[in-house]
Structure 1
Amino acid sequence: MNYKLIYITGNDIKFNVALKVFGNTQIDLVQNKLETPEIQSKSVEEIAKFSAKWASKKLNQPVIVTDAGFYIEELKGFPGPFIKYVNEWFSVEDYINLMRDKTNRTIIIKDCLAYCYPEEEPIVFTGEYKGRIAQKPGNKKGSPIEQIFIPEGYDNTISGIPEEEMLSYWSYGDIMTKFKDYILNK
């Protein structure tokens, strides 16, 4: 018997990663691009939990919601979970200028998945990806952060890595795999 699970995301890449992780399982993932209220918090966990609880109540079905923050160590964790908004205001050059003369170019992506049944508290899974900020922009596609984020183990920015390769990279992340193990053993 298959189990239907709704993934609340407008990001097709995130959804395709989830499809790849859940391939050959009894889980039927369905993408729903429902806009959820996003609370203001420095914690990606709190944001994801709030959104999952809200969406599961609204749809009266179990859902998963993911949220991520980009934490630049030299900038004391800026922009963190506010990356979506900062990318609307900052250009690639703005990020490059902020990092001018900075020696620590480490950036950590904190990733969170919240799974929630209606009227229950969300269950949270977290993980991290590490990388560094490029000295100059990569390809001119994607968001500003995608044009300057070089994942650990790579020499190119996200925007310069083929999409299939990036799908594989994101697919090996902790949160979706942890969640898959949880839901299949439940």
Structure 2
Amino acid sequence: MDNTLIYVTSNDIKFNVASKVFTNTEIVLLQKNLSTPEIQSKSVQEVAMYSASWASKQLNQPVIVTDAGFYIEALNGFPGPFIKFVNEWFSVDDYINLMQGKTNRTIIIQDCLAYCHPDEKSVVFTGSYRGKLATQSGKKCGTSIEQLFIPEGYDVPISEIPVEEMISYWSKGEIMTNFKEYLLTKDDFTIQKLQFKRLL
């Protein structure tokens, strides 16, 4: 019996977080690197829902897709769901310059998971993480925002925190746990519904 659920992501840390959440269940997560189209929307939920729907039709399998938006309060929520593109354009110094004179350095990460069967509407789970923007760069690794984002409970940016510790931090988020509980307790859920063909 092949109880496989496909997680469409190229991010190994995201996949490791999900795998940790699904430990001790009968569900096996399979990572699939598939480039999905991203619609231009201010809603991270709409972006994730569209990507999940597209991927499920392409693979003809149920899938999960996650997306996140970084909302800097002092910049009226910029860059929001456009973080991926802004990180390609903005350096660490660009972010720091934008924050000159700003006393509120709060960042809220809006996290979203979309689960979709082919030809069915996506089911969406959302959650959030809080943190602040550093005044100077951390280690020169990862994206610009990862060199500046200090998670709540820490005093250094993500780029300074060991990967194993960040996996533990992200795995405490609510969306993957809520999704697992939904999947395992929904009225019409059976293991047979997850007898998908394994992708090689």
> Which interval holds the TM-score relative to the shorter structure?
over 0.9
Same amino acid, percent of matched pairs: 71
Higher RCO (C-alpha 8 Å, min separation 6): 2
TM-score by length of 1: 0.98
Task: Name the structure 1 match of 2:116.
Answer: 116
Task: Name the structure 2 match of 1:103.
Answer: 103
Task: Name the structure 2 match of 1:164.
Answer: 164
For 1:19 and 1:67, the matched residues in 2 are separated by 17
Q: Look up the SS of the partner of 1:153 in the other structure.
A: coil
Q: Look up the SS of the partner of 2:146 in the other structure.
A: helix
TM-score by length of 2: 0.91
Equivalent runs, 1:74-113 vs 2, <5 Å: 74-113=74-113
Task: Name the structure 2 match of 1:69.
Answer: 69
AA partner of residue 176 (structure 2): M
1:1-20 CA-partner distances (Å, limit 9, x unpaired): 65210000011110111111
AA partner of residue 11 (structure 2): N
User: Is there any run of 5+ residues in structure 2 with no aligned partner, and where?
Assistant: 187-200
For 1:61 and 1:33, the matched residues in 2 are separated by 14
Q: Look up the SS of the partner of 2:127 in the other structure.
A: strand
Tell me if the contact between 1:113 and 1:175 (Cα under 8 Å) persists in the aligned partners: yes
For 1:3 and 1:82, the matched residues in 2 are separated by 34
AA partner of residue 127 (structure 1): G
Task: Name the structure 1 match of 2:55.
Answer: 55
Computing the radius of gyration over CA atoms, which structure comes out larger, 1 or 2?
Answer: 2
Tell me if the contact between 1:2 and 1:26 (Cα under 8 Å) persists in the aligned partners: no
Aligned length: 186
For 1:183 and 1:111, the matched residues in 2 are separated by 18
For 2:28 and 2:2, the matched residues in 1 are separated by 6
Deviation for aligned residue 1:23:
1.0
For 1:55 and 1:143, the matched residues in 2 are separated by 25
For 1:135 and 1:60, the matched residues in 2 are separated by 46
Give structure 1 regions of 4+ aligned residues with deviation exceeding 4 angstroms. none
For 2:71 and 2:3, the matched residues in 1 are separated by 35
Task: Name the structure 2 match of 1:38.
Answer: 38
User: Is there any run of 5+ residues in structure 1 with no aligned partner, and where?
Assistant: none
1:93-123 CA-partner distances (Å, limit 9, x unpaired): 1001101110110000000000000000000
Deviation for aligned residue 1:185:
1.1
Alpha-carbon RMSD across the aligned residues, in angstroms, is 0.8
